Structure formats: C-alpha cells, structure tokens
Structure 1
Amino acid sequence: MENAYGGRGAWGVAAILLLVGVHLVRGGTQQLTAAGPPRPLAAAAPAPAAPPPPARAGLPASAPLAVAIPALGVDAPLTRVGLDADGWLEAPPPEHPDRAGWYAGSVTPGEPGTAVVVGHVDTPAGPAVFHSLGALTRGRTVEIHRADGTTAVFTVHAVELLPKDGFPAERVYASTGAPELRVITCGGTYTRATGYTGNVVVSARLTALRGPDA
C-alpha cells in the first residue's frame, strides 16, 4: 500500500484488512542457542492486564530516523519497509541485522494511530537488532528519533508472545485513537522447516516528548 513519509493520521479499514494474517517476515533464520531468544515473562506466567498509561497529545507527521530501547541497549537506524508480493510485512535486509524498519503503511511514530516498527531477531550472522525484545517489561520506554528533531518517548504497557497461527492482527494493529507504537520481531519455537512459531509484540503509548516542541 502506497504511503508517503508524511503519513496520514490513524489507519483506515483498508490498512487493517491488508494486515489481517500478516505476522512479520517469513519467520527468522535460525535459533542460535538451545534456549533461543528471550521470551516475554508474560508468555510463561501471564500477568494481569493493565490499562495503558495516559497518552500525550499526538504529533504532526515526521519521518522516523532511529529507534532506541535503553533497557536493552538498542540504538538502531530505521529504514522504510512495506509488504512483500505475498502480503507479508517486510523487515530490513538480513545483511543489515543492526537496522530496524518502520512500516510505511502505518502512521509515523507519534501521530495519532498505531505506528509499526519491525526487525529481525537473528540472521545467519548471529543475533540481530531485536534479539532481546522479549526481555522488555512494562514501564520501560521505546524512543523514536524523528526528522523534525523531536524524540517521541513511548511507555511499554504490554509485551506478548503471539502465535503466527491465528495471529490477532486486528487487535494488534487497530488504532485506539491515541499515539501508539508496536515493536515486533519473531519469537517462540524455531524449526528449520517453518521458522519461528510466533512473534514478540511490544505495545507502547506516547507519554513524553523531547526536543524543540516538547
């Protein structure tokens, strides 16, 4: 679906329909250790649902340049990604495991609506940018550095391991009207035949802003 960097507010029905059944890339490349990448704590012992934090007012559209997750030591450039010919959400090329991707069919991070950032958990070369994403916990922050000089700070309110079979795309991607962010990578059990069985999905809400418009 074509969308310029400027974005266009909250996702419409067409965007949600495109992503129903879309999970991430086709499933990662390899499981590097017997244990695999970290799984969300909620996957082992589901935590009671908690309401998202109060949202800051949404921002104008601005291209995202980088994503930082201080608790995980992640600081990665963002590149624009789309859907492949079969309708799967793309990630940056595996030869660039240190990069993450902003799905250009979503709003820019900080606008009202749900922005989507994706990245590999691993590549044939080893752990990739979001290898430790499953270790993130509620209350931590994800920062998006934007072309307008602002940094949008999102507070995490859910970290889930969701199966690719029956992935709840509408719930994950739908707009709540607030400025939201989803950060997604592969997770779960890995086999060479099918790749990873699930996706780690981090849900976060815009709570602060740093920069000229703060």
Structure 2
Amino acid sequence: MKPLLEEALNEPTFWKRPFLQVKDHYNDIGKCLRRISVDNRFVHRCTTILEVESKLYFAQESKWQMRRTVTDLRKQEQLQNDFCISLTIFMICSSHSTPRFEQNALTSNNLSASLRLAHTRLYQPVLEHTCTLENHIQKVLSLSEQLIEKQDMVQATTDIAKNVRRIKHIDTQTLTREEREENIPQQ
C-alpha cells in the first residue's frame, strides 16, 4: 500500500487532490465495517447464551411440575457441560424457587411483573448492541453516499467492494480461528 501512496503523491495534481480528499472516507468506511462485524458477532454470542439461559431456566422452573427421571437429570447436566460456558451471565436462578408457569416461551402473560422486568434486563445488552450496529450501518451508508457523489460511480463502487471483500476475508479468518479454538478438546 505504501508504494501505491508514494506513487500517487508523484502523480499530477489533478489526480492527487481527489484521492487525498477521499482517502479518509475509505478509512472511516473500513472502521465502520469492522465495527459492524464485531457487533454482529457480539449479538450472535449474546443471543446464543440467552437462548441457552432461557431453556435451562424454564427447565429448572418446570422440574417441580413433573417427575424428573435420572435420565432427564443426566441430559440436563450433559447440556450444561456441552456448552462449557457460564450460564448465569445474564440471569441468576434460585434453586428454591417455586413453579410459576408451564409454558416454555420466553415471555408469557402469566409471568409476574418482576419476572417480565428480569427478562427485559436480560436482553438489554443485545438491544444496545443492535442499536450500535444500526448506527454503524447508517454511518457506512452515509459515507458511501458521500464517496459516490464525489467520484465516478464505477470507480467508487469498485474500491468500496475491494475494501468490503478484504474486511470480510479478515473477519472470516477471525471467525474460523475462534471456531477452531472452541473445538479444541478441554483437558
């Protein structure tokens, strides 16, 4: 990239000026796209954890309503071991709680107001990051619009597409590395 910039600086003024004006916009778009991919991964992880939390919570609540067999208890323990994550990040369950409902839905009309509030708090980090993600997407769109207005549309689209492909490739490598780390057997 550095030789290209040096070459660009040696070009005639008519070429240098638009490039220097647009260069910072490309950097801003790249930063926004990286933030979007990080936020996407965060929202996916939070949602996965919250789904598991909810299933375990409802399983604990309903265990008083039906007779549990030893096999069921082993399955529940195996489920907790399979996920190998702290399942009380967003919710703290009391082992002495009384059964309140029979449904397995995340929200119910039968839930008390305090329990509904607890469920709302569970999803607050996900909602905040979704809002942040939406703001980043809007910023990328506005920066892209500015670029297209300043440059020839074909050239701008090509350059933005290259940047998006590069960031997608980096993000894919990061996700692949994370998946490999997650699949390493624990000793």
**Normalization by structure 2: what TM-score?**
0.20
User: Which gives a bigger RCO, structure 1 or 2 (Cα 8 Å, sep 6+)?
Assistant: 2
Of Structure 1 and Structure 2, the greater helix share is in 2
Higher share in strand: 1
